[in-house]
Amino acid sequence: MDSKAIALHIAESIDISGCRRAIDKELLYGDRDELFYSDGALGYLYIFKYGIVSYYGLPETTVSEIFADLQPFCVKWRRSELTEEIQIEWVSSEQASRVTNNKILLPGSNVEGIRLALLHLSQSVALDYFEGLSDQIMNETRLHTSYLEQHGRLDLGGKKLKKYIARVLNINNQISENLYIFDSPEVAWEDEYLDKLDKHLKQIFDLKERYRTIKEQGFIIKENLSLFKDIMDHRESNRLEWIIIILILVEVVDLFIMRIIN
């Protein structure tokens, strides 16, 4: 049998506990971050709290019903263009299974194999989403540093700079909170075949390199934010110094005037 596994980004986040109550299918694996369901023979559904849903062997009518059930539990629901798919073919034995750029061959009896395939497909879509967020704040930060280079001062100040720093920190926090998922699942530690499949899938989807790029961008962004904060603090410090100097001058002038009058 040959069919496509598909992963989509549908929301900023998904309430997993709410989905557990709403989805009426056989739950094969579940925790606070993800739910893996079986839907009859060779039909599978995987839901992740970071807004990704993947599935295999489900008819479009069933997928539409699932999305309708999920929508109330999604934060910032959207059917974005962030999606990825790969062919999965069932073979008779583990010896015949393999992973290529456009197809995964899995032994028909290995449910954990399909779970791993859907997991890494979903992680690839999640990385696309987080790469987009990271690139967005990198581009914005680059504009501010370019202005600083050309004019010797920031084009942000006071409340506007604080709001920008808070926005960037919120995006960075969202990325950091969800990127922990890229560790290997426990099931891959205990089975040599699944461990090999796990490594092959990470290689095919280039998960480690893309993950490393996002983390490096995060460090660069934090360094720039630290610089912006130092500049803001220095600006505020100078402003306070001038206020103090002006107050002292006013007091001296007032004292001088009082002496002349007296």
Long-range contacts made by residues 35-40, C-beta under 8 angstroms, separation at least 24? 36/115, 36/118, 38/111
* pLDDT (tens digit per residue) in 180-225: 666 667 777 777 888 888 888 888 888 888 888 888 888 888 888 8
Given CATH 3.30.310, say whether it is the number of domain 2-110: yes
For position 53, what pLDDT does the model report? 95
Mean pLDDT of 110-117: 88
* pLDDT (tens digit per residue) in 124-145: 999 999 888 888 888 888 888 8
d(CA 23, CA 34): 13
Is pTM beyond 0.85? Reply is: no
Which comes out higher in pLDDT, residue 201 or 159? 201
For position 211, what pLDDT does the model report? 85
Nearest Cα residue to 127 out of 170, 164, 84, 63: 84
For position 261, what pLDDT does the model report? 72
For position 24, what pLDDT does the model report? 87
Mean pLDDT of 75-92: 84
Mean pLDDT score of the chain: 83
For position 243, what pLDDT does the model report? 75
* pLDDT (tens digit per residue) in 233-256: 666 666 677 777 777 777 777 777
Whether residue 85 has pLDDT greater than 60: yes
For position 125, what pLDDT does the model report? 93
* pLDDT (tens digit per residue) in 9-58: 999 899 999 999 888 899 999 988 899 999 877 789 999 998 999 999 89
For position 178, what pLDDT does the model report? 73
Cite the residue boundaries of each domain of the chain with CATH code 3.30.310: 2-110
> What single string gives the DSSP state of each residue in the chain?
-EEEEEEEE--SEE-HHHHHHH--SEEEEE-SSEEEEE-STT-EEEEETTSEEEEES--HHHHHHHHHHHGGGEES----S-EEEEEEEEESSGGG-EE-SSEEEEETT-HHHHHHHHHHHHHHHHHHHHHHHHHHHHHHHHHHHHHHHHHSS-S--HHHHHHHHHHHHHHHHHHHHHGGGGSPPHHHHH-HHHHHHHHHHHHHTTHHHHHHHHHHHHHHHHHHHHHHHHHHHHHHHHHHHHHHHHHHHHHHHHHHHHHHH-
